[in-house]
Amino acid sequence: MKSIIIFSLFFLLAISFSFSQNVEHWVELGLKNSPTSTAQQAKINATEKAMESVYEYPETQLQISAIEWMPNDLSPYFRPTISLSQDLPWFGTKKTKKEIAQAKINSQQSIAKTIEAELTQKIKSQYIELQHFKEKTILLENHKENLSAIHDNLLIKLESGQTAAWEVILLENEINNATAEIKKSAYQFKQQKKYFELLIGTEAKNLQLDSLSLKPVENINEIQNHPNIVNLKTEQNQLEAEKKQINLDYSPKLSVGIHYEAAMPVEPTYVTHDMIMPTLGLSFPLFANKKKSKKSLINAQQQAISADIESEKNRLNQELISTKNNLFELQTNWETKQENIKNTEDVLELLWTEYEANNINFQDIIRVQTQLIEMSLEQLSEVKNHNQLQTYLIYLLTDEQN
């Protein structure tokens, strides 16, 4: 009878494997195909493309006129004039515009790193969810097989008058309950798989899940360059680039050109020969109050981001402490249940001996059998929660600089 009651051994043997080998394939696929990742990569490409033409000389201006009409003239007269002018950048404009464009690219790349870290954690966590339902279905199927074997044994005893019909009926109820749980678990697996496919951005063909195992907690470091923090720092840098843009907007403007006027021998005081002359223009703003107010606004925004950085660091460290505590609790619970499952299996074996000797009621066996499957399922859930927390821990410790 021992071979019947140790249905949880399958799970205990399965914990010798790790999920990390297979899940990396799906993470790589998700980072490549996920709509969120591809959309962000498109933004990066567009920003990099814009940098190629970040600075171009303004369009050359051509002005032509052919007819003039002075106030004292009775009729207009033909007098062509042509002006050709070109605006020139102020000193350092090209370099500054490239720095501004690079700051925008850095911002988009930082957002991409944040998306990558979050998506990686979600894919790994959802992969564990699929492992859980797969293992849960196997446990329930083994449980049902054990109950069916017991049911066959009871039928033999019923024919010989060694047991009552009501015991067989109650056992059939347990089998029906196990069947229902198997159906629910299989349905949940299908739904969770659909969500998994949304995360990876493609159909999960030939999905071969590794066995779910309790992963040991690795050495925990301090939070360093988490993508959220780096992203905020990049926003600060982009605001600094905007201040440079303000300086450009209020910098002097240079222009060079050439001007041609035809002769106009109408009055002695007028030009009596054609004229060609170069032009040089310089313009600059007289008042800079708006410039100061715009920079003050950006300085205030940068100070607000600095506060957000400290707040985010504090939040992440709180999450780190909470995650470490939860991991320890789940590890302890798993170890406790491991010992309790072993003890319950030993008790169940003793109960069968007592039942064979007609010393106990069959319902005592069913009660302990139910406790055993419940503890096994609870232990499986704790493995799932533990490993999912581990993926969150890895996310918290993500260092964008590495």
Residue 401 lies in a domain: no
Average pLDDT over every residue of 379-387: 95
Where residue 230 falls among pLDDT bands split at 50, 70, 90? Answer: very high
Please report which confidence band the pLDDT of residue 21 belongs to, taking 50, 70 and 90 as the band edges.
very low
pLDDT of residue 3: 40
Its domain, for residue 18, covers 2-59+90-251+288-396
Alpha carbons 156 and 151: distance in angstroms, whole number: 9
Q: What is the pLDDT of residue 335?
A: 93
Of residues 251 and 192, more confidently modeled: 192
- Which contacts qualify for 42-46: CB closer than 8 Å, 24 or more apart? 43/108, 43/111, 44/105, 44/108, 44/109, 44/112
* Residues near 61 by beta carbon (within 8 Å), at least 6 away in sequence: 83, 84, 85, 86, 87, 257
Q: Residue 159 corresponds to which amino acid?
A: E
Q: Mean pLDDT score of the chain, rounded to an integer? A: 84
Burial of 158 (C-beta count, 10 Å sphere; 0-12/13-18/19+): middle
Residue 278 included in any domain: no
Q: Is 280 inside a domain boundary?
A: no
Can you give the pLDDT at residue 12?
38
Among the residue ranges 144-158, 174-188, 265-279, the one predicted with the least confidence is: 265-279
Residues 243, 36: Cα–Cα separation, whole Å: 31
Assign 19 a pLDDT band (cuts: 50, 70, 90): very low
- How far is it, in rounded angstroms, from Cα 347 to Cα 370? 13
Note the pLDDT of residue 73. 57
Provide the domain count of the chain: 1
pLDDT value, residue 72: 62
- Report pLDDT digits (tens) over 303-344: 999 999 999 999 999 999 999 999 999 999 999 999 999 999
Report the distance separating Cα 304 and Cα 234, nearest Å. 14
Tokens of 135: 């293992």
The confidence band for 224, taking pLDDT boundaries of 50, 70 and 90, is confident
Give tens-digit pLDDT for 250-306.
888 888 989 887 766 555 555 567 778 888 888 877 777 788 888 999 999 999 999
User: Is residue 126 very low, low, confident or very high in pLDDT (cuts 50, 70, 90)?
Assistant: very high
Supply the pLDDT for residue 2: 41
User: What percentage of the chain exceeds 70 in pLDDT?
Assistant: 88
Confirm whether 279 is domain-assigned: no
**Is 49 within the bounds of a domain?**
yes
CATH of the domain at 344: 1.20.1600.10
pLDDT-derived band at 15 (thresholds 50, 70, 90) equals: very low
- Of 9-18, 146-155, 206-215, 284-293, the one with minimum mean pLDDT is 9-18
User: How much of the chain exceeds pLDDT 90, in percent?
Assistant: 41
Confidence (pLDDT) at 354: 87
**How high is the pLDDT of residue 97?**
84
Contact call for residues 385 and 330 (beta carbons, < 8 A): yes
Between 235 and 67, whose confidence is greater? Answer: 235
Please give the pLDDT value at position 6: 41
Counting other chains too, the contacts that 24-32 makes at CB distance below 8 Å and 24 or more residues apart are 26/123, 26/127, 26/196, 26/200, 26/204, 27/120, 27/123, 27/124, 29/200, 29/201, 29/202, 30/119, 30/120, 30/123, 30/199, 30/200, 30/201, 31/116, 31/119, 31/120, 32/201
Query: What span, in angstroms and rounded, lies between the C-alpha atoms of 388 and 131?
Result: 11
> Is residue 75 a part of any domain in this protein?
no
Q: What is the tens place of the pLDDT at every residue in 46-104?
A: 888 888 777 677 788 888 877 666 666 556 666 778 888 888 887 878 888 888 888 88
Tell which wins on pLDDT, 373 or 358. Answer: 373
pLDDT computed for residue 267 by the predictor: 56
Cβ-Cβ contacts under 8 Å for 252 (sequence gap 6 or more): 90, 282, 283, 284
pLDDT at 284: 78
For residues 190-219, give the mean pLDDT: 87
The C-alpha torsion from 290 through 295 and 299 to 302, rounded to 10°, is 110
The answer to whether position 132 is within a domain reads yes
The pLDDT of residue 266: 56
Residue 73 lies in a domain: no
pLDDT for position 306: 95
